[in-house]
Amino acid sequence: MASQAQLDMLAKINSQNGFIAALDQSGGSTPKALGLYGVEESEYQGDEEMFAKVHEMRTRIITSSVFNGERVLGAILFENTLDRDILGQSSSSYLWNVKQVVPFLKVDKGLEAEVNGTQLLKAMPELDGLLAKANAKNVFGTKMRSVVKLANAQGIEALVEQQFAVAKQILDAGLMPIIEPEVDIHSPEKAEAEALLKASILKHLGLLAADQQVMLKLTLPETANFYQDLVNHPKVLKVVALSGGYSREEANNRLTENNGMIASFSRALSEGLSAKQSDAEFDATMDSSIESIYQASKS
């Protein structure tokens, strides 16, 4: 049974304008994220210090006066952030209770090696325990990312089948899954891969129970409104877009062309932010970023 907070979160995601902030870089991507933020690898030693630095960055973003539920619908965290506090509250509680931003949790453990032009999710034997923890912390949903490199029908079907199998486990735990089959923006077969991906997703949506919904997180497509069938699908709560390495300007321009899709940007959100900025400079930079992504998500 969903908690009242989770029902309120569902209503917010369903009805309000805004976008989802992806604050979930972890593991191998963390040094790069910190480097872009102006924190050099010489400034920390070992994983514990690295994750402490990343939590400082996330805390600065989340506690900024310009980061709130008026324009930011939700935020995706990784487990290390979920386990830490922000100003005396658990990170997920602070997001919802103070900022009215819906918390999501990244649950995947990274990617398998490429097979048939795709990288599937690594096995997640601890997923049930992680979902129980997410529920205990009033998290609304989850996210897991796999990657499509080439237009290989067999590989794409295997990837989508795996994503939906995990999504059903997440739905059974009472949480909202964000299914993220990222198409590599550098793929030489990007448009062809998107066509295969859409067909496979539509097939698997049709296999969900009548009362089940999922969210989708997709690379911005080569053809405007290519995913309109998914945006309008009764089994889809929301289609969110990943920036995938596009600059914020390029990502916003592409998003504006896709009606009904909203942003779930990571690098494009934090672009221009620096640990060396004063609070006033930091807030002004972030306010501009949030506003541009919010406007692109309203189209």
Mean confidence (pLDDT) of the chain? 96
pLDDT of amino acid 3: 84
What are the φ and ψ backbone dihedral angles of 287, each rounded to 5 degrees?
-60, -45
180 in catalytic set: yes
Q: Look at residue 199 and tell me whether its pLDDT is greater than 80.
A: yes
- Of the chain, the percentage scoring pLDDT greater than 90 comes to 93
> Would you tell me the crossing angle of helices 279-298 and 248-256 to the nearest 10 degrees?
20
pLDDT(290) > 80: yes
pLDDT digits (tens, 9 = 90+) for 137-184: 999 999 999 999 999 999 999 999 999 999 999 999 999 999 999 999
pLDDT reading at 194 higher than 90: yes
Which position among 99, 106, 149, 180 bears the catalytic label? 180
pLDDT at 1: 66
| Catalytic entry in 99, 217, 235, 238 | 217
Q: Is 217 a catalytic residue?
A: yes
How many CB atoms neighbour CB 8 within 10 A? Answer: 14
- Rounded to whole angstroms, how far apart are CA atoms 159 and 196? 11
In this predicted structure, the answer to whether residue 222 has a pLDDT above a threshold of 90 is yes
Phi and psi (nearest 5°) for 21?
A: -85, 125
pLDDT in tens, 252-278: 999 999 999 999 998 889 999 999 999
pLDDT bin (cut points 50, 70, 90) of residue 30 is confident
Q: What is the pLDDT of residues 101-111, one digit of tens each?
A: 999 999 999 99
pLDDT surpasses 70 at 27: no
User: Is 69 within 8 Å of 17 (Cβ atoms)?
Assistant: no
* Residue 25 pLDDT level (bands cut at 50, 70, 90): confident
